[in-house]
Amino acid sequence: MLYMLDTNICIYLAKRRPASLLSRFQTLEQGEAVMSAVTYAELRAGIEMQPANRAHDEKILSLIVSRVPIVSFEEEASVAYGFLRAAIPNRRRDALDRLIAAHALSLGATLVTNNEADFRDYPGLLVENWVAAA
């Protein structure tokens, strides 16, 4: 099974909590968890907005990326974005969340997030919350 980690899950991993999330993550084989290039962009923005912590945050992000490869946003993800945008045209959501949802959908990946409400009603998108399961 392929899992795409949402930005908030990567932040939890960086903070090494909750323990149950770390335990669940450690059960995965290499390559079972990926990160969207969109998520990586959000994490990079967070580092840029807190320059005092840059060295530490860069190190932590490098460790995460060594276990969770970054997946490029390809044509299939763009097609999935168009599908999701048309499926729920009047629903206002964060554009980055919609891109992440489309990316997961295009890969057939289950999106792992602690913000389930942000991804509710996207047709075909599988979502798991490893924090709530804690």
| Residues annotated within a binding site for Mg(2+) | 6, 97
Residue appearing with tokens 């320059």: 51
Return the C-alpha torsion angle 12, 56, 70, 87, nearest 10: 50
133 secondary structure, DSSP code: T
Q: How many CB atoms lie within 10 A of CB 83?
A: 15
The four Cα atoms 7, 9, 12, 16 give a dihedral, to 10 degrees, of: -130
Residue 48: half-sphere exposure toward Cβ, Cα within 13 Å: 6
Annotated binding site: 6, 97
